[in-house]
Structure 1
Amino acid sequence: MADVRPSEKTYQNTLTDDSIPPKTGRWKLVGPGIVAAATGVGAGDLVATLIAGSRFGYALLWAAVIGCIVKIALAESTARWHLATGQTILDGWRSLGPWTSWYFGIYIIIWGFVYGATGMSATALPLAALFPFLPFWVWAMIAGILGAIFVALNRYQVFEDAMKIFIGIMFVVVIVIAIMTLPNLGEAVTGLVPTIPEGSLIYTLGLIGGVGGTITMASYGYWVNAKGWRTPRWMSIMRLDNRVAYIMTGVFVIAMLVIGAELLYTAQITLSSGDRGLLDLDEVLRERFGPVVSVIFLIGFAAAAFSSILGVWHGVSILFADFVRNVRNQPLSGTRDDLSKTPAFKFYLFWLTIPPMALLWFGRPFQLIIIYGALGAFFMPFLALTLMWLLNSKRVPAEWRNGWLSNTLLGASAALFIILCLNEIWGMIVGE
């Protein structure tokens, strides 16, 4: 593949965009960041936060706060590349050499096949509990197909509005339940002081790096562009959008940790690993607060899981469509929303939805899971390191290159993700 770099002409062309940010009412524009945050916070992340709270109480509260700062830096960097250069993150990776395309191409195909089954299963769990007249696998298939149809038939703004509704349900439900547990505010405040209890190192690093951090972080720049933000004029709006979204995520994660600390830590209740841990929490809520709260929680659980389906089905399909465009060396015409009309986008929607249904019956082949885990462990270090590379280079106009704060946060996040990557690989080697 030829080396493709943003030219001065390309950059100047982005400045001819007619859209101009409004001087008032900027809060009303917030949206793409909420989409990215809602997509990244899946059922597995919720369980990981609950387990951290159930094992260590409020001691790791500070890690949740640091995690949000890390995600703000990563998402801001991704979108800044899009706005400052007029190119996509796939264009940026391609400019670093063909190795990036080989890695990303293999990863996105395997990731989509395995995640398709994971996302559908996570959504089916609360739906099967709420409506047991249909078996689990039927609910999983319904969730996947409905998600694909919705994404295929609607443009970005409708998709964003739907995501806001789902994250609103999820947010309100979790905050209300956290308040009902009557949190110990004194202990919560002490949890903001960084400490690492014995045996908590990996939980601490996972809490910082895991919640809201997936391949969909790379989709944020495309959602920003689809919103109509395509030039540096929109940089301040994007930063407001990003900060609001991840502050909301931080509040949400803290609320989940409070629930884990108050309901599980004090009673020494152990959750199942994986998504089913949320069903264990549902039983605890039913015993303590009654069936109404249990049903409300399951609705919030379903909203969280289905928002991840919609976000992945839309965002990662756009990434795949742009990957195909780069492989074919085609120019990017129109808006990033046009990528959702391409055959490659529709193919990946199919790939996420139909082939993974086989895993609902036959389980996950061991070899495939090993490859999936290894490639996935490398993605967040890959994202952090390549963003540092790109945003410190002449590919970006000097005004929008990294400053010391961005380099510090991206460097710290890269080190964090490398440690988590090595831990993941070690776990696969020793079979843990």
Structure 2
Amino acid sequence: MAKRQFSLGPATLVAAAFIGPGTVTTCTLAGANFGYALVWALVFSVVACILLQEMSARLGVITRQGLGEVLSQQFQQPLVRILVFGLVTLAIFIGNAAYEGGNIAGAALGLNAILPEVSLPWPWIIVAVAFVVLVQGSYRRLERALMALVLLMSLAFLTTFFITRPDWLAMFSGMVPHVPQVPEGAWLTVMALVGTTVVPYNLFLHASAVSKKWSGEHDLPQARKDTLISIGLGGLISLAIISTAAAAFFGQQISIQSAADMSVQLEPLLGSWASISMGVGLFAAGITSSITAPLAAAYAVCGMLGWSTDGSHIKFRLVWMIILGCGLALSVSGYKPITIIWFAQIANGILLPMMAMFLLYVMNQSQLLGRFKNTLWHNLLGLLVIAVAVLLGGKSLYFALS
């Protein structure tokens, strides 16, 4: 039998989802405010993302179903079913609405950098574009073009990373410290780094996408390799953003409020084009995620409730319309775009433990996965991720409310 040639698959969508306005903003603020001190939190986030997304991919490959459909089958007792579905649906709506607000705000932030002299209601225009694309079902073609722009921005960060010659010793010390340190005022940043990397709705999106691409257990090595490579590259880009921000801003008491402020870190490579490049990248990342986030929510909710996941079905459309509307309301609420993007990542990080616990539950069902269910190591590492996420979420809420 001929050896299969490896090609990247659905995990590229997961990586593209977290290399968006949230990651650029959060990693820039982490590097600018705390230098390399929080690189360990990024490393934890990337490892946690690979672990959970491998489970999600394995679920999709073996069962040929999405996580929403599997949850629907696993919880049949009426009261438990209502409780589980209520919690998951609420988490999906809250998390995705916040994330959508950040996506729209990020895309608007990019347009303001590209066209600083033009004053238009950018959030409304972005939502109108997303609405038309989702109704017509033409998001796949648009997504490829926009992902190419995001890739160019990511390449600019990676190139600048090497040009600026980061402090390698400080970076590796921050990456693998003897004891992870959280500087004063950094707990919310740590939570945001987790939330921007391990995005709860991606657990649903990945399983559904994998179930459509691959056909059985013989494809599992492909799915695992796809997950490791795609998310690993996404983590490398995030590391490059923290490092370039640390080199450009740390210790200078600079307030970062716009894409133009963030673009300073790209000036060693792009000079006067840095602001436009950052604007194009943020716009592309924001509008791409503005389309995929409502879509993922629709797949998750409709799959759980047993509704049709046909893109033309009225219930499917109603779900993504609600998410799109909530995102618009948040983006025009009067809060600064950077603040909205920041809040979305923290909300995702707080909701993550709940989604991870449900995933861990279904991954231990022998009748569902047979010999492909979680091993003891999968479970121990999964529980460790959940425990750390709960600790970070609790600390973040304490410091946010105190």
TM range (shorter): 0.7 to 0.9
2:365 is the counterpart of 1:393: yes
2:178 is the counterpart of 1:215: no
1:24 is aligned to 4
Structure 2 CA distance for partners of 1:117 and 1:362, relative to 1, 3 Å: same
Structure 2 CA distance for partners of 1:405 and 1:161, relative to 1, 3 Å: farther
CA distance in 2, matches of 1:373, 1:72: 18
Once the two structures are superposed, residues 312-348 of structure 1 have per-residue CA deviations (whole angstroms, 9 ceiling, x without a partner) of: 13322222332342xx6x7xxxxxxx53332222222
2:68 is aligned to 90
2:312 is aligned to 341
Q: Which runs of 5+ in 2 are unaligned?
A: 336-342
2:238 is the counterpart of 1:269: no
2:159 is aligned to 176
CA distance in 2, matches of 1:210, 1:359: 18
- Aligned-residue offset at 1:148: 3.0
Quick one: which of 3, 20, 28 aligns to 1:50? 28
2:384 is aligned to 412
Say which SS state the counterpart of residue 339 (structure 1) adopts.
coil
Structure 2 CA distance for partners of 1:239 and 1:392, relative to 1, 3 Å: same
Structure 2 CA distance for partners of 1:240 and 1:271, relative to 1, 3 Å: farther
TM-score by length of 1: 0.78
2:395 is the counterpart of 1:423: yes
**Superposition pairs of residues 306-345 of structure 1, within 5 angstroms:** 306-325=287-306, 339-345=310-316
Q: Is the 8 A contact 2:104 2:123 kept in 1?
A: yes
1:14 is aligned to none
Matched AA of 2:288:
S
Quick one: which of 84, 100, 103 aligns to 2:87? 103
2:59 is aligned to 81
**Superposition pairs of residues 189-200 of structure 1, within 5 angstroms:** 189-194=172-177, 195-197=179-181, 199=183
Matched AA of 1:422:
G
Quick one: which of 170, 179, 187 aligns to 2:170? 187
- Aligned-residue offset at 1:55: 3.3
2:339 is aligned to none
Quick one: which of 128, 144, 149 aligns to 1:161? 144
Q: Is the 8 A contact 2:264 2:274 kept in 1?
A: no
The percent of aligned pairs where both chains have the same amino acid is 19
- Aligned-residue offset at 1:380: 0.8
- Aligned-residue offset at 1:111: 4.2
- Aligned-residue offset at 1:263: 0.6
Matched AA of 2:129:
L
Matched AA of 2:373:
R
Q: Is the 8 A contact 1:145 1:353 kept in 2?
A: no
Matched AA of 1:131:
L
Say which SS state the counterpart of residue 31 (structure 1) adopts.
coil
Say which SS state the counterpart of residue 199 (structure 1) adopts.
coil
Matched AA of 2:69:
D
Say which SS state the counterpart of residue 166 (structure 2) adopts.
coil
**How much is the aligned-residue C-alpha RMSD, in angstroms?**
3.2
Once the two structures are superposed, residues 370-418 of structure 1 have per-residue CA deviations (whole angstroms, 9 ceiling, x without a partner) of: x999985652111221222221222433311111331122111101111
2:321 is the counterpart of 1:350: yes
TM-score by length of 2: 0.83
Structure 2 CA distance for partners of 1:163 and 1:31, relative to 1, 3 Å: farther
Once the two structures are superposed, residues 84-117 of structure 1 have per-residue CA deviations (whole angstroms, 9 ceiling, x without a partner) of: 2233212333324311101122333444444443
Q: Is the 8 A contact 1:48 1:207 kept in 2?
A: yes
- Aligned-residue offset at 1:251: 0.8
2:281 is aligned to 300
More RCO (CA 8 Å, sep 6+): 2
Structure 2 CA distance for partners of 1:270 and 1:388, relative to 1, 3 Å: same
Structure 2 CA distance for partners of 1:24 and 1:183, relative to 1, 3 Å: same
Once the two structures are superposed, residues 36-55 of structure 1 have per-residue CA deviations (whole angstroms, 9 ceiling, x without a partner) of: 12113332332222222223
Matched positions, count: 386
CA distance in 2, matches of 1:345, 1:89: 16
CA distance in 1, matches of 2:344, 2:123: 21
**Superposition pairs of residues 96-135 of structure 1, within 5 angstroms:** 96=75, 97-98=80-81, 99-135=83-119
Structure 2 CA distance for partners of 1:36 and 1:209, relative to 1, 3 Å: same
CA distance in 1, matches of 2:296, 2:391: 27
1:141 is aligned to 124
Matched AA of 2:70:
G
Structure 2 CA distance for partners of 1:417 and 1:22, relative to 1, 3 Å: farther
Q: Is the 8 A contact 1:45 1:212 kept in 2?
A: yes
Q: Is the 8 A contact 1:377 1:421 kept in 2?
A: yes
